[in-house]
Amino acid sequence: MPSTTGVVCPHCGWPDAAEPFQVVSTHATATGGTVWTRCACGSLQVRVVDDHGTRVVSRGRPSPAGC
Ligand SMILES: [Zn+2]
């Protein structure tokens, strides 16, 4: 089993590896790209895309809505 499957947000349980809630921005890099996404709970994530797929390398804390 690839380790990238079945990854969910620890804050809200969104299956963010398979289906990003919102793509904030994308950046091309020499090896593929970097994608910033925001989860349903408001936490920002940084994903690296390369030949092996997509993996979350950084995840922020959820932000309360309507602040
Ligand atoms: Zn979340």
pLDDT > 70 fraction of the chain, expressed in percent and rounded = 85
What is each CA distance from 27 to 1, 13, 65, in whole angstroms? Answer: 28, 26, 26
Mean pLDDT within 32-51: 92
CA of 42 to the centre of ligand 1 (A): 6
CA of 40 to the centre of ligand 1 (A): 5
pLDDT at 1 exceeding the cut of 50: no
CA of 46 to the centre of ligand 1 (A): 13
Which strands make up the sheet holding 32-38, listed edge to edge?
Answer: 22-29, 32-38, 44-50, 53-59
Residue with the bigger pLDDT between 25 and 63: it is 25
